[in-house]
Structure 1
Amino acid sequence: MMRKERLKKFVLLLFLLPAFCMCSLSDQNTESLAKHVDPFIGSGGHGHVFVGASVPFGGVQLGPSNIFKGWDWCSGYHYSDSIIIGFSHTHLSGTGGSDLGDVLLMPVHGEVSVNRGKQDNISNAYASYFSHDNEEVKPGYYSVLLDKYNVKAELTATERVGIHKYTFPSENDNHVVIDLKEGNGDRSTDTFLKKVDAHTIEGYRFSKGWAKDQRLWFTLKSNHEIEKLEVYDDTTPAGEYVIKAKGAKGVISFAGNPKEVILKVGISPISSENALANITAEATGWNFNKIASEAEEKWNQELSKIEIETADPELKEIFYTAMFHSFIAPVLFNDADGSYRGTDKKVYSNPGFQNYSVFSLWDTYRTQHELLTIVQPERVNDFINSMLAIYQQQGKLPQWHLMGNETNAMLGYSAAPVVVDAWQKGFDGFSEELAFEALKASGTFQLQRGIAPLMEYGFIPREKAREATSVALENAIDDRSVAQMAKGLGKEEDFEYFFERSESYKSYFNKSTGFVHPRFADGSWATPYDPMESIHMVGDFSEGNGWQYTFLVPQDPEGLIELFGGDENFTTKLDSLFTITGDMGEHASIDITGLVGMYAQGNEPCHHMAYLYAFAGQQWKTAEKIRYILNEFYTNQPDGLIGNEDCGQMSAWYIMSSLGFYQVNPSNGIYVFGSPLFDKASINLPEGKSFTVEAVNNSDENVYIQAVELNGQPYSKSYIRHQDIMDGGAIKFVMGSTPNYDFGSSPADRPHSIL
């Protein structure tokens, strides 16, 4: 529901941390921004977000797991559920595919079972009911009361260590179950458990799921003496101390039956010894509250990189939760000493960078990585170096990379615009020659979906690849970014090749219908063809239809406008995208959500489309649609995300759009104006700089930009450059209730796509 006019006459100024100050929050007399974060937002509906304890971009995501019941449990937890089976150390956040849930622990009191249970029967199982009334989650901390045992479980984390605190109802018959058999929709292929000494257990879990060959080692340290570790092969007793099996489970019993137990679990992609070293490096001592406080401080450090001023506490909650969600992934995939296991399963020591994984690139290339170039510049070189290392290990840049595994999910070679965008913006902590080598190799990788027919025919025929037309349109975006870098490096032959390929999107445009149109190998238009119809997985388009994919040209809006015959025809068609309704068919993807006409905010291919009006000189239409989307599809409720979070993309769109600008072309550093949501926002930048966005006369009715000042000077353009932001300064938007049709209308003032 659209929000009513909010009182904005009085704004409390927050004195926040400088961007990279490493001082304690308690020393700064500041408000904790973490208190505005509600990690339950997006845990209902189809948001699929992670709920639990983590630190920014940490390799551990320690949180509750439900019994896996399908798509809406991709993260392992869904707000609608009432059963917890334990607390595992790895979770995905917002994805459309499920995996992980590694090394699950469950505290039990009384009779012990190693049977997980079923949704309709947990009587003879270790699973327990719980209530949201007895659940608390905030950045770096999670707690819940397990009804079955009256046990309070509390969780916190460092980068590579999960810390559990279990408070039992009495000092007898208290145990902890370890389950290595099942994860979140995957299956174990090899497991190992061993009691090393009176306070230590180690093991590993190898599994197959979305990640085809995931390998994780762990070491568990207890603050109380472990009297016994009983080990089971699935549900069959297998003795004590050691087992190597496909589905090892264990029951820990403690000497003296303590009422409170603290466990530290380090994880590693290399060995249990390294997992123990991670504990030593990151989680010394047994002060649970201190570690939880440090985790919260790390979140406050990152959240403080953007300060917003608004009289509406609900908006503040939505914004800072979006920041929180945007900083969960990519995740660290190495040990404290820097070593990691590559895609080729070899161990790499001293790589010279922090290695990351969980790259949901088909989603995140559109906004999240652009956001990170502004608010996480210290990590960008590590992200790119991680991608280049993956290229060296598997022969192409990551497509959808998960814990050292290439899943090959989705389409295009979407790391390309991310790499080129970083290079274009001046990040130089990686080899540009290696980067271009990786781009060129990925763009000609024959096993990549659609690449072979593209190189043979110059386009991708309908019968030569699954979802051929959307694959071709995505490849054109990636090809344009490669051409852009080739041009900058003076590689003229490569520039001409990839630029010509990037123009192939035009060959799908049927001027007689005004839609992109699938084609057969002989060049003819495919029939029958209904641009309204969406056929999931086996149709012409990936998670969309012809209406939506007709506008998937963020790299060249000017060329798309020309195909339509000019500004008027283009904007008329774009207007129709936001008003047309119809039946997408019984086989349509469930990802197509958040509809405004056929525009779908709940799925990534549409995310740039409202901004296209600015390229045709009608920025005011961008403004009204962006403000509507911000208010309509983002709330502070469990179903407050209209679609999958997708590792930060859905929230990154909100952050950028609410600030008032958005990068349409994913690799050229041009930010198109929308409609700023807040009275004032300050981006804290490196070297003590800041960039301030002020919206004068801002309200729910005053959504249209009347005039702009940049650094105190009148500014007529409907965009700014990345460097304008990073240099520091201030931009002021004067807002009004009626459109200023002249603003940004001149061709000289419109955004542009440049090589």
Structure 2
Amino acid sequence: MLLKKSVLSAAIAITLAALSGCDSNDEDEEVISGGGDNPIHVEGPGILKYVDPFIGTGFNGHTFPGAVLPEGFVQLSPDNQLTGWHSSSGYHNDNDTIYGFSHTHLSGTGIGDLGDILFLPFTGDKSESSKFRKSQEGAKPGFYQVELDDTGIVAELTATQRVGLHRYTFPEGETQKLKIDLGHTLNEDWGGVSLINELEIVDDYTVIGKRYSGGWAADQRVYFTAKFNKPIAEYIITSQGEPQSGSSYKTEGNDVVAYIEFDQDSSPLEVKVGLSPVSTDGAERNLMAEANELTFDEAVTKAENTWLNNLDDFEVEGGTDAELTNFYTALYHTKIAPMVHQDADGQYLGMDKAVYDASSVAENYQNYTVYSMWDTFRALHPLKTITEPEKAGEYAVNLIQKYKEGGLLPKWELHSNYTGTMVGYPSVAIITDAMVKGLADDVDPADALEAAVASSTWHPEDFTEWDQELLKTVMTPHIKYIEMLGYAPADKTHDSVSYGLENAYYDWTISLIAEMAGDQAKKVEYEKRAQGYREYFDHNPEAYAEHSATGFMRPKMLDGSWREPFDPYNAEHETGDYTEGNSWQWTWFVPQDIPGLKEVMGGEEAFKQNLDALFNAREDEGTSDMTGLIGQYVQGNEPDQHVPYLYNYTDTPWKTQEIVDEILDEFYLPTPEGIVGNEDVGAMSAWYVMSALGFYQITPGDATYTIGRPLFDKVTIPVGHSGTFSITAENNGPDNIYVQSVTINGHELEEGLFFEYSEFRDGGELSFVMGPEPKALN
């Protein structure tokens, strides 16, 4: 058939209309409702009935409801918010206008990006957006559907790891049309721009193209190949709204759009879209490898089975439906990222933007992306060392390889880009924890030490070819001053206290790598640097009596004086002393040396007094990240999420059990607003999973766990290569939240509260007896 271009029999509107609003929810007999004003969700088989992808799409959760597989490169999801903080994932539950379905998204971040390759089916001239109702929207793992009110089109989405599959059912008699928008972006508020668009109509059934964008990820690249189940009848390609001639168009502009009309028949329009970070050929090979023979319904079933295989080896007994929904949805969120970022044949884009072959790096090497490490080193990666230990080893190898490609370990890596986002060099915590637990056999300790030292040492002169402004965000001047003075001065660096405390912890993990590498000098050097937290603590009980505290971590100036005035509640970003918080939260970030923190605070009683003061301080949300408060403890952000477990280092460990129970009950709910802060690519959910199990790792790098309050009567989780670890809670219930006794593998825990990874690495049983009254176990 000879293709021809036209204006598709109607004038095409080019200007996007940013429509938003709220619609009511109607009942639908074919779906299960979360209740109240919550979105409805399609029920999956087995334990998938407890997974609700709409949890976290409201409030500040910033999750997306679309189709994705575990670690899938494709996240095919609707975009209904394009600007503002709530556009981070492209979707917010409060809005009722869909602009289309794009193929890449971020789960729960506080910054937006991606939203690549937008598709929107339409009829007539309705090519810009459509209203929708919650009663006509549904999702389950690996599947999303919605009816577009403006056109009556039913859109269904599913995915393989590298392929998005669309099925659009049009109203009888309507001409079937599709918009493909390469200029669409979700991160304009963060300077996002579509840099290069290429699109080509290859034949009657195939469209290929690429999109390069800049923004949070300065040089983000996605290639695609789209194949249709019916022939193209007419098309037009526009750039900046102007029709172009020919069947292909390449531009450095940012607004290339194809409007396509298909041969008329009543069957649904189906599209398979392969993605690649390397090339359009790679995208086609991915499509052929993963979805060439799949029907849409077969792909949905395959996605369901993949999710079942990833979730149903977590066996839970007891708990309410709400608690089971919270648990399995949280587990679902922990498996979205890091995600695979290489083609099926092993080709991938390195940090230096060169194309690599995975087989040339290492046998079975896997390249990953979306490492939100400042968030995820705390609970997500420790969880994976338990339940997916082989992944922990792969991440360690992958991060070190990224150092070899780019010259530094990344701290928030996004599609082979150094974003420089957040604090310090958290890669070392993830690498160290895997090595300490014996999960990184493929890591040479000398290589790990080289990467860690290079990333924690001030040497910008080695990066003359780098964009210097970008380099400053990755290798920050805090390092220079810490090397010179032992601390980061507040009048010379931004967020000095947060960087100083976190870098001290990271330096402690580097000392462990040095020990494993046999480098005694580096071990001693980094052990000394790890004590740098002491520089920031001002122990002055009289000065802080009004706060019932003995002291706080404070910003120190270049001349050694404290910054004045000081207010521990002050979280103003302009002041620049703390990252996403204030002194109340950051005072506690010394996980590498809790006995030392006790010492600088003034001893055991002062430590306990300060903990009580934190949880009883006035609730004051100083920033948008400070949500889910108990006093000045913040559950909605990561810096002090280990703090509830610090009562286990006192003679009142039952306070840990009380606080954890309160958080599990009040700050995680089976509703769109049910995640109390940014989900942060699995970080918030991993805290829930670990805490619901009844234990937590306070210090990644120290393979020690401490107990909390188990939520369920029994949970069996996968560990090791084929073992299981069971956590049982006798006499458990909402009125019996206090631990009366606890054993592991039949013997009492160390000091009644702590146990080691080695005790359950290959299997075992942690047994609680619960009761209604507090009991000291240590």
Same fold (TM over 0.5): yes
1:619-668 CA-partner distances (Å, limit 9, x unpaired)? 21111111111111000011000100000000000000010000001211
TM-superposed CA distance for 1:257, in Å, is 4.2
2:271 alignment counterpart:
263
CA 678–403 in structure 1, closer or farther in 2 if over 3 Å, else same: same
**Which of 348, 373, 383 is the equivalent residue of 1:361?**
373
SS at match of 2:681: coil
- CA–CA separation in structure 1 for the residues paired with 2:284 and 2:575: 46
2:767 alignment counterpart:
732
2:61 maps to 1:47:
yes
**Which of 693, 699, 721 is the equivalent residue of 2:756?**
721
1:569 alignment counterpart:
606
Q: Does the CA-based 8 Å contact 2:176-2:269 persist in structure 1? A: no
- CA–CA separation in structure 1 for the residues paired with 2:748 and 2:392: 33
SS at match of 1:606: coil
SS at match of 2:566: coil
TM-superposed CA distance for 1:313, in Å, is 1.0
- CA–CA separation in structure 2 for the residues paired with 1:341 and 1:33: 36
2:582 alignment counterpart:
545
2:206 maps to 1:200:
yes
TM-superposed CA distance for 1:576, in Å, is 0.6
- CA–CA separation in structure 1 for the residues paired with 2:693 and 2:428: 26
SS at match of 2:227: strand
2:373 maps to 1:382:
no
CA 227–598 in structure 1, closer or farther in 2 if over 3 Å, else same: same
Correspondence list, 1:240-319, <5 A:
240-245=246-251, 246=253, 247-319=255-327
- CA–CA separation in structure 1 for the residues paired with 2:324 and 2:574: 38
- CA–CA separation in structure 2 for the residues paired with 1:537 and 1:660: 39
2:239 alignment counterpart:
233
1:533 alignment counterpart:
570
- CA–CA separation in structure 1 for the residues paired with 2:580 and 2:396: 28
1:341 alignment counterpart:
349
2:425 maps to 1:423:
no
- CA–CA separation in structure 1 for the residues paired with 2:584 and 2:311: 37
2:489 alignment counterpart:
461
Root-mean-square deviation (CA, aligned residues, Å) is 1.5
**Which of 684, 688, 697 is the equivalent residue of 1:654?**
688
Q: Does the CA-based 8 Å contact 1:107-1:176 persist in structure 2? A: yes
Correspondence list, 1:320-719, <5 A:
320-349=328-357, 350=359, 351-352=361-362, 353-427=365-439, 428-446=441-459, 447=472, 448-449=475-476, 450-512=478-540, 513=544, 514-536=551-573, 538-581=575-618, 583=620, 588-715=622-749, 716-719=751-754
- CA–CA separation in structure 2 for the residues paired with 1:191 and 1:39: 31
SS at match of 2:512: helix
- Structure 1 stretches lacking a partner, 5+ long: 1-29, 114-125, 745-755
- Structure 2 stretches lacking a partner, 5+ long: 1-43, 460-471, 545-550
1:121 alignment counterpart:
none
Greater mean alpha carbon deviation, residues 597-606 or residues 220-229: 220-229
Greater mean alpha carbon deviation, residues 255-264 or residues 96-105: 255-264
Q: Does the CA-based 8 Å contact 2:690-2:696 persist in structure 1? A: yes
- CA–CA separation in structure 2 for the residues paired with 1:229 and 1:216: 23
- Counterpart AA for 2:767: K
TM-superposed CA distance for 1:470, in Å, is 0.9
Greater mean alpha carbon deviation, residues 711-720 or residues 300-309: 711-720
- CA–CA separation in structure 2 for the residues paired with 1:728 and 1:31: 28
**Which of 55, 80, 86 is the equivalent residue of 1:72?**
86
CA 326–194 in structure 1, closer or farther in 2 if over 3 Å, else same: same
Q: Does the CA-based 8 Å contact 1:223-1:286 persist in structure 2? A: no
2:180 alignment counterpart:
178
TM-superposed CA distance for 1:618, in Å, is 2.8
TM-superposed CA distance for 1:170, in Å, is 2.0
Q: Does the CA-based 8 Å contact 2:445-2:513 persist in structure 1? A: no
TM-superposed CA distance for 1:455, in Å, is 1.1
Using the size of structure 1 for normalisation, the TM-score is 0.91
1:689-720 CA-partner distances (Å, limit 9, x unpaired)? 11100001111121111111222334453012
- CA–CA separation in structure 2 for the residues paired with 1:111 and 1:258: 19
SS at match of 1:726: coil
1:18 alignment counterpart:
none
SS at match of 1:133: strand
2:146 alignment counterpart:
144
- CA–CA separation in structure 1 for the residues paired with 2:700 and 2:183: 41
Q: Does the CA-based 8 Å contact 2:333-2:682 persist in structure 1? A: yes
1:83 alignment counterpart:
97
Q: Does the CA-based 8 Å contact 1:161-1:282 persist in structure 2? A: yes
Runs ≥4 residues deviating over 4 A: none
**Which of 124, 137, 151 is the equivalent residue of 1:110?**
124
Q: Does the CA-based 8 Å contact 2:319-2:711 persist in structure 1? A: no
1:513-545 CA-partner distances (Å, limit 9, x unpaired)? 511111111111221111111112642101111
Q: Does the CA-based 8 Å contact 1:697-1:735 persist in structure 2? A: yes
SS at match of 2:75: coil
Number of aligned residue pairs: give it.
699
SS at match of 2:167: strand
- CA–CA separation in structure 2 for the residues paired with 1:676 and 1:286: 42
Q: Does the CA-based 8 Å contact 2:159-2:300 persist in structure 1? A: yes
TM-superposed CA distance for 1:616, in Å, is 2.5
Q: Does the CA-based 8 Å contact 1:705-1:734 persist in structure 2? A: yes
SS at match of 2:68: coil
TM-superposed CA distance for 1:286, in Å, is 4.5
- CA–CA separation in structure 1 for the residues paired with 2:637 and 2:574: 15
TM-superposed CA distance for 1:311, in Å, is 4.2
Greater mean alpha carbon deviation, residues 67-76 or residues 275-284: 67-76
